[in-house]
Structure 1
Amino acid sequence: MSKAKRLLDILVFATTKRVFTAQEIADEFNISIRTVHRYIIDLSEMGLPIYAEQGRNGGYKVLTGKMLPPILFTEEEAVSVFFAFQSLRYYRNLPFDTEINSVTHKLYTYLKHDAKEKVDALRSYIAFWNPKRTINTPLLKEIVKLTIENRNVRFCYESKSGIKEKYVHPIGVYAHDGLWYLPAHDFQREKIILYRVDRIVSILSTEECEEKFINLEEWFSSYNISNPIQLKVELTKEGVRQCKSVPYLQELVSIHEDGAGEINASIDKNEINFITPVFYRLGKDAKVLEPRELRDSIRAHAKEILNLYTD
């Protein structure tokens, strides 16, 4: 029997019994005590949380019952795991970064030479690029944990107007453009507000929640316009290209035969401040016809910039 097969059998035996002696393994698999000790060291290096209990009645104990049974990956499946992890490499903070490093290390260690070459090429030539943010998000893990536990949260949040206390129920956490966002039901404003996780300064308290709220998946698919207003924009060819690169605008763009285009759709009035920088940045490639509030907002933005450069 190969060593790999023997290790796999002992791993199943150890995680099932959790408490055992070297003699029990020796008897079960008809091997010497010395060989048992070598295999235990190998399993420990592979990540099995096991320790030796000293004394007359000593033996071995697996520290947790949360170990998964052995999973056999094909070479292509293992490489695909590395491919998936590539999409996360440009984020400064991840909810489970230590675990990801552990998984990749274990997988890479036991890959065959040709599979390791595939993974090395994958790392060097393929990337899911996101802006490399220098902003730290120290409370990301804690926020994710509280969200999964369905708890209400009080935290201090830093915004343009200063640091304020918020009382919310998180409905999920998602990453976009290198940053982490927290949609949450704000109890004071009685609606879902989108927060940046890196701007959460401290968590003041948490409490159990018995109410039923929508989850992140439901929120993504249930966009409601509570205060509709018409958005009309004329776009040059370059304006079309730029708007097609903006996720929340791309589906609103209609393209003409000459390549130019337009936007004629209903949006929520509350989004005006959010989309003003987008159309200001497009300059002459996007002429906003309606609403008047957006035109005024772009004009005010331009005046602020112009005032910085007056002699």
Structure 2
Amino acid sequence: MNNRKLAIMRLMDSRQKFTARELAERFDVSVRTIQRDLDALQALGFPLYTEVGVNGGYRVLPNRILPPLQLTQQEALGLFMMLEYLQQVPDFPHGSMRGHLAEQYFSTLPADVQDLIMRMREHITFVQYPGEHAEPLTTGILDAAVEKREIQFIYHARSGRKTVRVFPYGIYYEQGNWYMPAGKKDRVLLYRVDRMQRLVVMDSTDESVPSLKAWLDAKEDRESVEVVLHFTEFGARIAASDVLFKSVQGHEWRGLVPPEEFSFTARKLLSYGPEVKVISPPELKQQVRELLERSTSQYDRG
């Protein structure tokens, strides 16, 4: 397929209507050449249809098949590895098509590239440690967030099950779990998606609900306190692959943390055991100490 046909496909995919003469003028060729190009694209399965009459022209069917990618061999290998990785992420939004997409994409590759991929798969794997997701809810949540619609669900909280109605901002994936920040009255609450059940998308909408990106950007504007941590040699190696503490320099980590996130940070630090020490602030140090005391006290009772 030549570059002009590829350019025509991209142009037509904008869903605009073009006449053969407009396309001919755009690409500086004859109308007959453009008609041959369009006939060739239709023969390849590109879903063009013709509107006749004075205001007629060529359009692409709304439920169209997107044009194929034009990739180098290295790009093709990388894309297939990404598809393989995504299949390991639990409850990926609209993820029911991942296997089909990978299979369909694989079948379009040249035989030698297919053979190379098959050999590569013997030497690479992606290990995930997902939680036990009861229901695949991410697609529904994401669609509701895009449409700014309210959702209702059953949530398994520490205090037990409860019915929740909120406006979701979106979802993000971190260390094996999906998380959903959502607005409820004047507060923003964070829910783990694997603890949600019986999702219902409501009719009510709220155009003032921010996007996930806007919420994440706004989080940086909150009043924060500088936290200073000291890691052991082993702790620093672990922290280097931790999303929260990966900016550790030498054995020290410094960062700004909002006071309302001290509880989460303290629990995170507790997982490091003796490999980390809180230098400041005193409030965070006290929260870690209280968690340690509660952890050890259960053994004092026998």
TM-score between both structures, scaled by the size of structure 2 = 0.71
Name the count of aligned residue pairs: 253
Structure 1 residues 1-311: aligned runs within 5 Å: 9-10=42-43, 12=45, 15-17=47-49, 65-74=62-71, 76=73, 77-184=75-182, 186-188=183-185, 190-224=186-220, 226-251=222-247, 253-255=248-250, 261-310=251-300, 311=302
1:188-247 Cα shifts (integer Å, max 9, x gaps)? 3x1332211121222345134242333222333333364533423333222322332222
Tell me which amino acid in the other structure corresponds to 2:234.
E
CA RMSD, Structure 1 to Structure 2 (Å): 3.0
Shift in Å, 1:135: 3.0
**Are the structure 2 counterparts of residues 10 and 263 from structure 1 closer, same or farther at C-alpha, using a change threshold of 3 Å?**
closer
- Equivalent-residue separation in structure 2 for 1:125 and 1:79 (angstroms): 14
Q: Please, which runs of 5 or more residues in structure 1 have no aligned partner?
A: 1-5, 19-63, 256-260
**Are the structure 2 counterparts of residues 294 and 119 from structure 1 closer, same or farther at C-alpha, using a change threshold of 3 Å?**
same
The answer as to whether partners of 2:155 and 2:195 remain within 8 angstroms in 1 is yes
- Equivalent-residue separation in structure 2 for 1:174 and 1:223 (angstroms): 15
1:155-200 Cα shifts (integer Å, max 9, x gaps)? 332211122233322221122222111122x223x13322111212
SS at match of 2:45: helix
**Are the structure 2 counterparts of residues 243 and 109 from structure 1 closer, same or farther at C-alpha, using a change threshold of 3 Å?**
closer
1:74-121 Cα shifts (integer Å, max 9, x gaps)? 462443331221221222322222322222222222322211112213
The answer as to whether partners of 2:166 and 2:184 remain within 8 angstroms in 1 is yes
The answer as to whether partners of 1:182 and 1:195 remain within 8 angstroms in 2 is yes
- Equivalent-residue separation in structure 2 for 1:98 and 1:156 (angstroms): 23
Shift in Å, 1:143: 1.3
- Equivalent-residue separation in structure 2 for 1:72 and 1:303 (angstroms): 58
- Equivalent-residue separation in structure 1 for 2:256 and 2:180 (angstroms): 25
TM-score between both structures, scaled by the size of structure 1 = 0.70
The answer as to whether partners of 2:228 and 2:253 remain within 8 angstroms in 1 is yes
Name the counterpart of 1:55. Answer: none
The answer as to whether partners of 1:157 and 1:201 remain within 8 angstroms in 2 is yes
Q: Please, which runs of 5 or more residues in structure 2 have no aligned partner?
A: 1-38, 51-60
Tell me which amino acid in the other structure corresponds to 2:144.
L
